[in-house]
Amino acid sequence: MLKVVCEDITKLKVDAIVNAANKSLLGGGGVDGAIHKAAGALLLQACKQLNGCQTGQAKITHGYNLPAKYIIHTVGPIYRFHDQAEDEQLLRYCYRNSLDLAKKYNLKTIAFSSISTGVYGYPKKEAAQIAVSTCKKWLADNGNLLEITFCVFDKENLNIYRQLLEK
Ligand code: AR6
């Protein structure tokens, strides 16, 4: 199942939330900053043990003070840093690798932030199309194993996801 909510992702009670991190995994601004602030200092300690993360890859930690049990940290592409096909591919990998990791941990519910659509500059509509199509395909390939929530933070993105999910 796929759905969209417009909320602060740090408030969601799901098995895992997906953080839009950077390669250092040591925190930053945007949703990453909000997650580190809400999860507490133990998250940073755990992230320091992970040795960073490549673009398109995903790593997992506990949720610490969050209502979510786990945090999956993925690193989206910086828009136009690579050519368009590569940007798209890397963003797809973020979703797919996060879902594979959730499956590996036997999780049932996962909520994604809109990876790369803030500081990293990915156009919201293009990013949402990639997010929805990748998740739909993953669910079809994996027997609808997970309940997937897209957690957006603004009306524009909410409307984009609503339209895509109605189809
Ligand atoms: N809950 C849900 N979504 C949020 C929240 C929140 N609390 N706060 C922001 N968003 P961004 P990126 C949305 O910039 O583009 C960080 O510094 C926001 O509206 O957080 O992948 C990292 O450390 C936007 O749609 O992530 C990296 O250096 C979306 O989250 C860099 O930014 C993603 O925006 C990653 O950039």
> Does residue 18 register a pLDDT over 90?
yes
Distances (CA, A) of 43 to 38, 106, 145: 10, 21, 27
> Does residue 167 register a pLDDT over 90?
no
Q: How far apart are CA 78 and CA 117, in angstroms?
A: 9
75: pLDDT confidence band, cut at 50, 70 and 90? very high
Where are any strands of DSSP class E within 22-152? Answer: 58-62, 70-75, 109-112, 147-152
> Does residue 106 register a pLDDT over 90?
yes
Lining residues, ligand 1, CB within 6 Å: 8-10, 20-22, 28-32, 34, 76, 113-120, 151, 153-154
| Ligand 1, atom nearest to 30 Cα | 20
The Cβ-side half-sphere exposure at 88, using a 13 Å CA radius, reads 10
Q: How far apart are CA 61 and CA 25, in angstroms?
A: 11
What separation in Å is there between the alpha carbon of 32 and the centre of ligand 1?
A: 6
The residue type of 141 is D
**What are the helix and strand counts (H, E) for the chain?**
5, 6
- CATH fold, domain 2-166, is Leucine Aminopeptidase, subunit E; domain 1 (3.40.220)
22: pLDDT confidence band, cut at 50, 70 and 90? very high
pLDDT in tens, 4-13: 999 999 999 9
> Does residue 108 register a pLDDT over 90?
yes
Using CB atoms within 10 Å of the CB of residue 60, give its burial: 0 to 12 exposed, 13 to 18 middle, 19+ buried: buried
Vertex 74: Cα angle to 152 and 77 (nearest 5): 85
Name, in order, each residue with C-beta under 8 angstroms of 141's C-beta and a sequence gap of 6 or more: none
| Average pLDDT rounded to a whole number, residues 9-32 | 98
| Average pLDDT rounded to a whole number, residues 140-151 | 98
Contact present, 48 and 59 (Cβ < 8 Å): no
91: pLDDT confidence band, cut at 50, 70 and 90? very high
Contact present, 95 and 77 (Cβ < 8 Å): no
What separation in Å is there between the alpha carbon of 105 and the centre of ligand 1?
A: 24
Mean pLDDT for all residues in the chain: 98
Where are the chain's structural domains? 2-166
